[in-house]
Amino acid sequence: MKYEAVIFDLDGVIVITDSYHQKAWKTSALEFGIDYKDEWEEELKGLDRRESMERLLKLSEKLLSKEEKEKFLHRKNELYLELIEGLNEAVVMRGVKETIIKLRKNGIKTAVGSTSKNAMRILSLIGLTDLFDYVSYGENIKKGKPEPEVFLNAAAHLKVSPSKCLVVEDGEAGVKAANRAHMDCAYLS
């Protein structure tokens, strides 16, 4: 195999948490007077929390002050953390754990590349933290997807050239980030 590392997105690739995000966005949006539309969810996929909020505000044509935006972001994350507290291995995508174990047995490094600041909490809840050589996520990067930083950070910590990394993604922003990082990308639709 030509790859020395595989970098997995978290939400939608390793775990199924889209419904938790959607419920948290919808509830917090309604609390801030925004009529959230379910079809907007696809446009928020793969973006960090702040970028998702900005996209949501643009789609809804709602204006919020800087202070209101901070409250909105805090409330969304608070709701999301409450919702995910009961996560366990049942939300892990079928075959993911076995695939990661097989990659590692074949000497291929594994990492998570997620813009979520909650990535470590989720990995802990689902019991997969020890399967990754590195976790590049919202707490150790500055720019979210579609910027390539999340994947380049993972490659640097793994000490693997970007050209030897494969990214597994389910979001358009993540595919763009992988392309900008000069990494091959397997897109899960």
- 9 catalytic residue (yes or no): yes
Q: What is the DSSP letter of 63?
A: -
Q: Which of 9, 35, 130, 133 is catalytic?
A: 9
**Beta strand pairing call for 109-113 and 5-8:** parallel
Burial of 181 (0-12, 13-18, 19+ CB in 10 A): buried
Q: Which of 11, 38, 48, 184 is catalytic?
A: 11
- 130 catalytic residue (yes or no): no
What CA–CA distance (Å, rounded) separates 44 from 18? 10
Closest CA to 29 of 65, 66, 71: 71
The gap from C-alpha 28 to its chain's centroid, in whole angstroms, comes to 20
Catalytic residues: 9, 11
